[in-house]
Amino acid sequence: MKNKINAKTNLIGIIGNPVGHSLSPLIHNHLFELLNLNYVYLAFDVKPELLIDAVHGLTALGAKGFNVTVPHKEKIMGLLDHVEKNAQIIGAVNTVLVENGRIIGYNTDVAGFKKSIEESGFCTAGEVVTVLGAGGAARAAIIGLIELGAREVNIINRNEKRTQDIIDFYRANGIDNIKSIPTMHTDEAVRQSRLIINATSVGMKGYLPNESPISPEYFTAGMWVCDLVYNPLETVFLSEAKKRGCNIINGLHMLVHQGADSFKIWTKIEPPREKVKEFLQKNISYM
């Protein structure tokens, strides 16, 4: 790092368990260097039973903020002074700002996901969309799709109880155009959708990298296919969709936008998003 760390360096970080796989230190330290900001971003592996200590410790040490990842995204909500609307609806916080003695929680995954879909050229309004998965990434994508005006969002997940939990949670927040689709009806649901999103971990480096979460035979030319997995940049799910004439969107776009939005919350500076994308495109294969 070119920036010199000194007595005035601002601290930002990420807390998770595990946290060693996170690309956030790379993204943010690259931006601090690029914009010549006196900040440093560090990763902290925080065990669940030490979450309260970690939050108090970071704020006591004067950290400007931090990202939050698995398994703390939900639990941290009870430790904050305020949680903004999107984070409340999703039930998870991924970004914390410490300002004027207050600890405020945000979720930038929704806005990051929305930006990645909007910039792809796909118009979500009035469309039927299918989301594969019912974890944290799926929750963000579902809210993003509803906010972008999707007519209906189908959720397909191995564990159907988890899908029902999402539907119940969102219904309680007034959202009722979400449907649970049993895995045996995947073919039908996919064929009726204009956009299919993989929000499962299948295809990720280190976890089933040679597999697709659904049979590629369901893809038809002209469909839009998005993978939230960003490493590798082109998963089997995407390469099979491309072969069949689909438009594809990789997970790098969401990754960059959610990170850029967190960066803006902490520094109040709009970062050069395209430069971050270029940087990650060059470096991601080495991780």
Contact positions toward ligand NAP, by CB under 6 A?
109, 112, 133-138, 157-159, 162, 199-202, 204, 208, 213, 228-230, 251, 254-255, 258
Minimum distance from residue 213 beta carbon to ligand NAP (Å): 6
Minimum distance from residue 87 beta carbon to ligand NAP (Å): 14
Choice between 128 and 284, CB closer to ligand NAP? 284
Long-range contacts at 46-50 (CB < 8 A, ≥ 24 apart):
46/15, 46/16, 46/17, 46/19, 46/72, 47/17, 48/17, 48/72, 48/75
Q: Distance between alpha carbon 67 and the CA centroid of its chain, in Å?
A: 12
Q: Distance between alpha carbon 242 and the CA centroid of its chain, in Å?
A: 23
Choice between 157 and 193, CB closer to ligand NAP? 157
From 114, 106, 156, select the one nearest 134 (Cα to Cα).
156
Catalytic residues: 73
Residue nearest to ligand NAP (CB): 135
Choice between 102 and 185, CB closer to ligand NAP? 185
User: Using CB atoms within 10 A of its CB, is residue 95 exposed (0-12), middle (13-18) or buried (19+)?
Assistant: buried
The span from the CA of 127 to the CA of 226, in Å, is: 15
Minimum distance from residue 262 beta carbon to ligand NAP (Å): 11
Minimum distance from residue 197 beta carbon to ligand NAP (Å): 10
